[in-house]
Every structure is written in C-alpha cells, then in structure tokens.
Structure 1
Amino acid sequence: MIFFYYLSNTEVQYLSAALKNNSTLQSLNLRSNQIRNQGAQYLADGLRHNKTLKTLDLYRNHIGDDGAQALASALITNTTLDSLNLDGNLSTYCVTVGAAVAIRKNQTLSLYKHPMQENDIQHLANALRNSMTLTTLDLYKNGLGNNGAKYLADAVEYNTTLVQLHVRWNQIGDVGAHYLADTLRENKQLISLDLWRNEIGDKGADHLAKALRHNRTLTTLNLRLNKITTTGAEHFRDTLQNSKTLTTIYLDRNDAGQSESNKSMEDCQI
C-alpha cells in the first residue's frame, strides 16, 4: 500500500502516468488530499490502463460530478478494482460510483437515504447486471420512482445471484410495479422482494399477482404501507392458493378505509 498527502493536480497527473504501467501496486490511499475534478480525471485515465490495483481510497477530497463521471467511465473498462472509497466528496454521484464497485465483490450492499438521479440508478443497475457475487441489495429512501424501478428490473433480469431485493420507500407506483412484475415472471433467483412504503395501488397489485402465478422461487413479498385496497388484495387470493413456493404476502397497513378491507388483507397473509 502507498499513502500520499497534499497532492497537487500535477502530482496526481504523474501518479496517473505511473499507474498505467505499474504491474505490482494493489492498494493506493489518497484520502484527505485536495483532489478535484481535474485530478480525478487524471486518475481515471490511469485506471483505464491499470490491471493490478484492487483498492483506491479517495475519501474526503473535493471531487465533483465531472470527476465522478470520469471515474465511472474508466471503471467500465477497468474490471480489477473492487474497492473504491469516494465518501466525503462534493458530488452525491460519488456514493453511487463507489457502490457500483463494491457490487463487484460484496455479497450485500445497502444504500440508505441517498437521493439518486437517473445516472445514479443507471450506473448502479449496470453494475448489478454484471455482478457475480451480490445476494442482497437494500435501497432505502433513494427516490427511485418508476423509472428507477425499470432500470432495476432490467438489471435483475440478467443477474444470476441476487436473492433478496429491498426497495423500500422509493416512490414506486403501479408503473414501476409492472416493470418489476415482468421480471418476476421469469426470474429464478429472488426469494424475497420488499416494496414497503411505496405508492403501489390496485393495478400494480394485479400485475404482481399475475406474475407470481408463473414465478417458482419467491417466498416473501412485502407490500405494507402502499395504496392497495380490498380489490387489489383480492388479486393475490388465487396466487396464494396455487403457488408452491410463495408463503407470505404482507398487505397490512395499506390504503383500506373499511374494516372489511382490512379483514381481506389479513386473509392474504400466511
């Protein structure tokens, strides 16, 4: 491991040039420097050619959106780096870029209350699509929305290792539920899908219920605190009665205004 402190952009440029040809260095600590977008772009250029570095620590620098994007682009071709610490930088995109690298080797990844723009979820979804190790992904209050659900559903369709997907409090509505349902119809890995506190209504419930009639692996579906009424809950009756794998659907605390509605939802839990 090598540590450097108080590097200028010119010094980072020299370091990047050295990375291109180095064949032994595996860990580089550049935390608490003053590296900005230009320095990050130099490092990205070095990473495109490097084949040995596994850990890069850029904690608490001054990297913004442009620098984060440069690093993200470099990591499309660089497949050896499996740990990138970008916490404490200026751009929120840095968190996503670091998380996408973590997906390469980690079995579990959690992102709590990290607002994600479209490029964030696209980058994370691309990493998920190609991950060979991740088994649990927990995205809590990230503002994914229906578009984010689409990117995520597309990635899960190609991923072969993920078994638990938690997408809680992410403003996913009926359209997003439809995207996820299309993936569930053919998916052969997921055993648990947590959609707690989203905005899924009866139409979304119908899409999910129909998809689960074809799914053979999911055992648990959490739809607590959505907008499903008695009508939506009824869609799951046939699914539960005929499924050989699905054991639990949580529908309590939904948008049911009458006691009869609540009773219907309770009946859907086993």
Structure 2
Amino acid sequence: MRIIIAEDPNWSLDLVPSLSSLCQRCIADKIEDHKYLFEKLTPELKDAIQPKLSLSLPLHVTADLVPDGVFWKRCCQQRWNICDISLYGFSWKRMFFERHLENLIELFVPEETDFKVILDVLPLCKNYVKRLHITQLLLPSRKFVKGRDDDQNEVATLANEEEDDTTTGHFDFGTVLAELTELEELYLVYRIKQCGMNFEWAMFQITDRDCRALTIAFKGCKTLKVLRIRQSQIDDKKCRPLLRCLMEHPSLIELDLSHNIIRDGGARSVAELLSKGQLKKLNICNNEIEVQGAQALAEVLSNNSSLLYLNLRLNQVRDEGGQAIAEALQKNTTLTYLNLAGNDLTFITAIVLSKVLLKNRRLRTLDLSCNLLGDVGGKALAEAMAHNSTLTDCDIRETDMDETNATSINKAIWTNQCADRYRGPLHRRRSTICI
C-alpha cells in the first residue's frame, strides 16, 4: 500500500477551498465590473459573499446592490467607534447612510465646499435615510477671517458686524429635504463644536436667511414627523415664519424648540400651530415665555384633542400663566404629560392644579419641581392626590413643602403605580403614548 507524505505536516484536505467558495471569491473580486452576477444570486449566497467584499468599493456600486447585512456592519465599524444599531431600526445600512450624510452636512462650508458632494450621494441614500441628527452647521469661513495685527482684526470685526445678515447663511436644506422621500425626523443645532480662538457669537445662532431657507425646504418635505431645532437662538421674529409654514404640514406630530429665546410673541405662534395642526408632543422648555404666552397656549389647550406631551420647564409663566394652563386641563381630555418646573409658581397655581387632579383622569405625569409651592400648596396637592387614581409620576422636589405633605403625595403616587402595573400594558397602551 502506497503512502504519500505531504511536505506540510499540517496539510489537510479540509483546507482546500470548495468550488463554491472559489466562485464566491471571484464574484466578490469582480463585483464592480460584473454586478449582474451578484444580482442573480440567492439571498443566502449574497449573505455569504458580503464578508468577502472590499470596503473600498465605490458607494455607487454597493448602495443599491448590496443588501443590509455584514458588509454594511463592517463599513460602519470601520468609520465609527460607537455603533448602536438599535438607534437605527436595527439596520446597518440605514446607520451607514444616515451617518455618512450627517458627516457631509456637518463639515459642509457654504461658498467653499462643492455642493456636488451632497448631490452625488443623495440618490444613493434617499431610500434609507429616515432621520438626520445634525449637531453642527458651519458658516462661510470668510466671515471669521481676521487680520495679522490688531488694526486689521478690528477692521475685520467691524466688517463682520456691519455685514447684512441676509448675505450669510448655513447649509441650505432645500435640495436635501426634497430628495429624502423617507425622512421622518430632523434634528438641527446651529452651532460649531470646536471654534478655537476664532469664537464669534454668530457661530451659535440661526440667521434670518436660514429661516427663509427652512420655510421653503419644509414645503418640499411632506413625510417629516419630528422636528427639533435646539440651542439656536430662535427668537420671536425667527419663530413666526418657521411655524407658519408648518401649519398645513400633513404629518408633523412632534415639535421641539427648547433652549432658545422664544418669548410671548413666539408662544402665540406656537399656539396657532397647535390649534391647526395634529401635534402630539410639544417641547418649548428653557425659553423666555411669560404670562401672555402661557395664556395663549392655555386657550388652545382647553380645546385641543391631539396633544399628549407639553414641556414648559424653565420659563417664567408665573401664577397667572400657571393658573390658565391648570384651568385648561379641566376641559382637556388628552394631555398625559405636563412639565411646569422652574416657572416661578406658588401655592396659588398648586391650589388650581389640585382641583384639576380631582377631575382629570387623563394626566399621568406632572412635574412641579423648583417652584415655591410651600405648605399651603403641598397640602392642597396632597388632599387632591388622595382622590386621584391616574397620576403615576409627580415631581415635587425643591418646592418648599413640608415633609408630611410630600410623603402623602409620594404614597399616593406609589399606590397609583402599583395599580397601573396590575392593570397591565394593554390598559396603559390605550390610555397613554410612549414618549
């Protein structure tokens, strides 16, 4: 019997690649020139070839050809250290295209970066982008160029201050929003992450030109459901045109304008939008809304049948505004979340709210923290909570009420929470919305 001894003692027939494996490697190497071969494969074979595909393949080749899977996971992990797929509907392909487009927009310098960079990628990603989370928007660099000496610096600074605001603006979203036919959420912050020694306040605010551009862009985006523009120095003047164009928007259900400088005039515009739209969630915390703005919101809230979430934290509505909102809740039958923390409220508002808690069976979360409710307000709320069975979360920290009343309120809340868990998730799904 003949015995053949291999030169390599570790050699085994198992190491010989199969014909199928060789074909897969050939298709992976030649995919750019022979896309039709990949298209004819079964879904199982496509998944098997994805680990063999080169990450340097052009995007116009892989965008529509390669399905969601290992290839897009490799692309994401190569570019970004943190990849939480749960934030993207558990789709690696969606994560890649959303973050890729976000990076292009955040690094786009108006009047300098070629817009063709954006135009080339839009047809490739339009079917996969459902959310844009833009954390930085740059201005033209010429606006912040300074001279070499102090005199030149002063001249440049004066020129920047005298420059008409209409001549400068950030990235124009008109073309992008018109092309992204699947976009549902848009989050914008008009700021620069790292400005270094070239700090200017203009780097941290939306301009009039930006507002006009956004009003046009929103008209072409009919699928938008969530809009957030935070920390962008939006005032009453800039707020009005933005909200006016959203009044007839067919799908918008959430609006977040928190951490801006909206006052009573802007609050009235928000109230008008609330009266004509189908908003379910409204966040205008940390603005400068006072009594008249709160009263305008309360007037609409009393007749509104869609809003579920209202956040007015860190404004200055005071007791006059607080009472108006509380009285509106006696008629409102849909609101489940209300945040009035840090609004200079006293026991006067607490007494009116206590009457609401006796009748309202819809409100589930109430935040009154950082208001001087005192013992009188605490007693009124405690007595009302003894007869309330629906409120499951009530924040009364830093309200200057005595320990006895606070304990009574917290005990009532705990009882409601236990009863809510006993009723089960089906009941909660019918009575509230997950925010």
TM-score of the pair, normalised by structure 2: 0.43
Deviation at 1:193, TM superposition (A): 0.3
Q: 2:308 aligns with which of 191, 198, 202?
A: 191
Alignment of 1:72-83 (within 5 A): none
Give the structure 2 partner of residue 107 of structure 1: 225
Deviation at 1:135, TM superposition (A): 1.8
Deviation at 1:148, TM superposition (A): 0.9
Give the structure 1 partner of residue 206 of structure 2: 92
Change (3 A) 1:210 1:260: closer
Please say if 1:146 is aligned against 2:223.
no
Other structure's SS at 2:288 match: coil
Change (3 A) 1:254 1:60: closer
Deviation at 1:186, TM superposition (A): 1.4
Letter in 1 for 2:246: L
Q: Is the 8 A contact 2:335 2:363 kept in 1?
A: yes
Give the structure 1 partner of residue 366 of structure 2: 249
Give the structure 2 partner of residue 38 of structure 1: none
Letter in 2 for 1:135: I
Change (3 A) 1:251 1:265: farther
Give the structure 2 partner of residue 125 of structure 1: 243
Please say if 1:239 is aligned against 2:356.
yes
Deviation at 1:119, TM superposition (A): 2.8
- Counting strand residues as a fraction of each chain, which structure ranks higher? 1
- Percent identity among equivalent residues? 24
CA distance in 2, matches of 1:92, 1:230: 38
CA distance in 2, matches of 1:86, 1:208: 29
Give the structure 2 partner of residue 66 of structure 1: 166
Other structure's SS at 2:284 match: strand
Gaps in structure 1 of 5+ consecutive residues? 1-28, 36-53
Letter in 1 for 2:352: H
Letter in 2 for 1:147: G
CA distance in 1, matches of 2:230, 2:311: 15
Letter in 2 for 1:245: R
Change (3 A) 1:34 1:196: same
Give the structure 2 partner of residue 164 of structure 1: 281
Q: Is the 8 A contact 1:168 1:198 kept in 2?
A: yes
Other structure's SS at 1:154 match: helix
Deviation at 1:102, TM superposition (A): 5.1
CA distance in 2, matches of 1:252, 1:262: 12
Give the structure 2 partner of residue 22 of structure 1: none
Gaps in structure 2 of 5+ consecutive residues? 1-104, 113-125, 127-136, 144-163, 193-201, 386-393, 395-412, 414-435
Give the structure 2 partner of residue 182 of structure 1: 299
Give the structure 2 partner of residue 14 of structure 1: none
Letter in 2 for 1:156: L
CA distance in 1, matches of 2:227, 2:189: 15
Give the structure 1 partner of residue 344 of structure 2: 227
Letter in 1 for 2:290: G
Q: Is the 8 A contact 1:86 1:98 kept in 2?
A: no
Deviation at 1:66, TM superposition (A): 2.1
Q: Is the 8 A contact 2:218 2:245 kept in 1?
A: no
Deviation at 1:187, TM superposition (A): 1.1
- Higher RCO (CA 8 Å, separation ≥ 6 residues): 1
RMSD: 4.2
Give the structure 2 partner of residue 5 of structure 1: none
Render the CA deviation track for 1:219-255: whole Å, top value 9, x for unaligned: 1111011111011111112212112322232212213
Q: Is the 8 A contact 2:235 2:263 kept in 1?
A: no
Letter in 2 for 1:165: L
